[in-house]
Homo-oligomer: A and B are copies of this chain.
Amino acid sequence: MSDPDQGSMTIIAWSGDLDRVWPQLILATTGAAYGMQVTVFFTFWGLFVLKRPEVRITGDSWMTKMMSAMNRGSTEHLPLSRMNFGGAGPQMMKSIADQHKVASPTELLGTARELGVRLWPCGMTMDLLGLTADDLIADLPEPVGAGAAVAEMQRSQINLFI
């Protein structure tokens, strides 16, 4: 679906907050709809976006266990960076979004896959956060490193760190 004339876009998806995941996925799907080759490299807190909804506690140290407890993750349970109010903020924001026909992160992630957006998990931060391939959604490519992300950005017209 990508068209070489439209160039390519690489997003370093560092954040797992709802208010940043929305721009990550809206820009990625918009670029793909325009025919760009889009790659999203999920790293640090951004990896929680790729977590399976049913997986809860991950890792084997108190730090990774507590991080997973405090970042339930998956596109269904993302916190807001501000105005979170223990999860009431994201619920209200998603309800307003729904009224205005703005797609949810879960829908956007599905659209991204349909449009051929490449979703790359960062192997190094999977280790740091105690996440394994089984904790993440199915059919992702093998985890990659910063070298692959830099090589992709060298070829891309649009590079963003979100």
Binding site for B on A (CB under 8 A): 6-7, 9, 12, 14, 19-20, 22-23, 26-27, 30-31, 33-34, 36, 43-45, 61-64, 66-67, 70, 82-83, 89, 92-93, 96-97, 100, 102, 124, 127-128, 130, 146-147, 149-151, 153-154, 157-162
Write 26 A-B pairs (CB below 8 A) sorted by A numbering.
A14-B20, A14-B162, A19-B44, A19-B45, A23-B44, A23-B161, A27-B146, A27-B150, A30-B146, A30-B149, A31-B150, A33-B147, A34-B147, A34-B151, A36-B154, A61-B92, A64-B96, A67-B83, A93-B128, A100-B128, A150-B158, A153-B157, A158-B159, A159-B159, A160-B161, A161-B161
